[in-house]
Amino acid sequence: MEEITQFSLPFSLQCSECQSLMEASEVLKAQKIMCNRYLAGEYLSSTIFEYHFPCRYCKSPLAIKYNLEQCKYEVVAGCSKLNKAFSRLNKESSVSRINQIISLNAMAT
């Protein structure tokens, strides 16, 4: 079962590809996918879902899932969870990094 749904990030993330930051509670369109039952896809007969979505800046694939046993979201692929608060300074450094990537891509073409 797969569907596209609106998804709000439960915590701040940093993309592993472009190092950009995404703020907690940012709303994204995500693909909601049921996990494989044989690979911990169920917990006490409840289905476990993963949310797959692209990075807003470099479009690399990111994924997180909800761990029903521990009642928290976990990073699956493409990003890392930020334990520190998302601050204006972090956002400004992220924007400067994105501008660097854009200028490198422009020079390559």
Q: What angle do CA 58, 32, 34 make, to 5 degrees?
A: 130
Residue-wise pLDDT tens digits, 57-77: 889 999 998 877 778 888 989
Structure confidence at residue 38 (pLDDT): 47
- Rounded CA-CA distance 75/93 in Å is 23
Mean pLDDT of the chain: 78
Residue-wise pLDDT tens digits, 15-38: 998 888 888 888 889 998 887 654
pTM, two decimals, is: 0.67
Q: Is the pLDDT of residue 8 over 50?
A: yes
User: Domain tally for the chain?
Assistant: 1
Boundaries of domain holding 104: 2-108
